[in-house]
């Protein structure tokens, strides 16, 4: 309870300070000015208080808006902190997210997942290096609609083992019903080995590849 009160007081104070910096005064300043004018008004020609009260009401609305914005910012900050703590629990687990990263650790084959919207009579998997240059092309044959996968052993077209690093992949197929070639939806998959924070948001590291926590669509335990 004490923590809540302190947080609320801090938020109001911060909003009041931000308001004063933005428009030159806050509600307390206006009240002091109002009282000073009442004290120094001509008794024979008193000021009409209605205009002051109207301005005070408008100022109060502005201050409430600042308070709401500050509270919302605090809520977003708390949510980001919670997401950061949650992301740590993903370390050691295998995730899947939209993307086309083909991470190769230099030894273990890389599992590549994709999905076609329609069946194909033939499909081709292309692996590219970090510069976008194709290093390996693999014929996949006919594929059904829906999820599919292929394993890349980390070798190029000549059978030479490539160095560890982040590669990319694409899958294109010829529709069974004829027509123009279609591209499969590809996914970045792999075991999470770290967490980084970018622009205040957590990203899961899969070797040299990075996946935003909010993009994860599935997770599997060790």
Mean pLDDT value across residues 32-43: 68
What is the model's pLDDT at position 32?
Answer: 73
For residues 103 and 209, membership in a common domain is answered with yes
Last residue of a domain, one of 88, 118, 147: 88
Task: Verify that 114 and 207 share a domain, yes or no.
Answer: yes
Of 28-32, 155-159, 169-173, 182-186, the least confident = 28-32
Domain shared by 79 and 180, yes or no: no
Last residue of a domain, one of 88, 122, 152: 88
Instruction: Verify that 100 and 75 share a domain, yes or no.
Output: no
The percentage of residues in the chain with a pLDDT greater than 70, rounded to a whole number, is 63
Residue 28, domain extent = 2-88
Question: Could you give the CA distance from residue 111 to residue 210 in angstroms, rounded to a whole number?
Answer: 16
> What is the total count of domains within the chain?
2
Residues 76, 103 within the same domain? no
Tens-place pLDDT, residues 47-92: 566 666 666 666 666 666 666 666 666 555 555 556 666 778 888 8
Using CA atoms, how far apart are residues 1 and 99, in angstroms rounded to an integer? 45
Question: For the segment 99-108, what is each residue's pLDDT rounded down to a tens digit?
Answer: 999 999 999 9
Residue 3 has pLDDT above 60, yes or no: no
pLDDT class of 119 with cuts at 50, 70, 90 = very high
Higher pLDDT, 14 or 154: 154
**DSSP codes of every residue in 64-119:** HHHHHHHHHHHHHHHHHHHHHHHHHTTTTSEEEEES-EEEE-SSSPEEEEEEESS-
Overall average pLDDT of the 26-50 stretch = 66
If asked whether residues 110 and 72 sit together in one domain, one would say no
> pLDDT-derived band of residue 14, with 50, 70 and 90 as boundaries?
low
* C-alpha distances out from residue 121 to 117, 148, 151, Å: 13, 14, 20
Considering only CA atoms, which of 149, 167, 158 is closest in space to residue 106? 167
- Answer with the one of 88, 117, 138 that is the final residue of a domain: 88
Q: At 209, which CATH number? A: 2.60.40.4070
Distance CA 118, CA 138 (A): 20
Average pLDDT of the residues in 96-125: 94
pTM: 0.62
**CA–CA dist 183, 186 (Å, integer):** 9
Q: Measured between alpha carbons, how far is residue 6 from residues 9, 12, 26, 75, 160 in Å? A: 5, 10, 21, 15, 63
What rounded mean pLDDT belongs to the chain?
Answer: 80
H or E stretch covering 42: none
Q: How confident is the model at residue 4 (pLDDT cuts 50, 70, 90)?
A: very low
């Amino acid at each position: 309870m004490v923590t809540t009160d302190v947080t609320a007081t801090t938020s109001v104070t911060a909003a009041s300070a931000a308001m004063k910096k933005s428009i030159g005064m806050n509600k307390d300043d206006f009240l002091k000015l109002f009282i000073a004018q009442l004290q120094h008004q001509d008794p024979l020609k008193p000021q009409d208080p209605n205009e002051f009260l109207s301005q005070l009401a408008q100022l109060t609305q502005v201050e409430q808006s600042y308070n709401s914005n500050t509270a919302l910012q605090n809520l977003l900050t708390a949510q980001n902190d919670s997401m950061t703590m949650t992301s740590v629990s993903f370390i050691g687990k295998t995730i899947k997210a939209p993307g086309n990263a083909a991470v190769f650790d230099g030894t273990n084959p890389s599992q590549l997942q994709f999905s076609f919207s329609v069946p194909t009579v033939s499909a081709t998997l292309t692996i590219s290096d970090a510069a976008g240059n194709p290093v390996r092309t693999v014929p996949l044959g006919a594929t059904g609609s829906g999820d599919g996968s292929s394993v890349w052993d980390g070798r190029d077209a000549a059978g030479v083992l490539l160095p560890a690093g982040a590669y990319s992949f694409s899958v294109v197929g010829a529709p069974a019903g004829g027509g123009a070639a279609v591209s499969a939806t590809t996914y970045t998959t792999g075991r999470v080995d770290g967490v980084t924070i970018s622009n205040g948001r957590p990203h899961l590291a899969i070797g040299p590849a990075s996946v935003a926590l909010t993009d994860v669509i599935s997770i599997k335990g060790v």
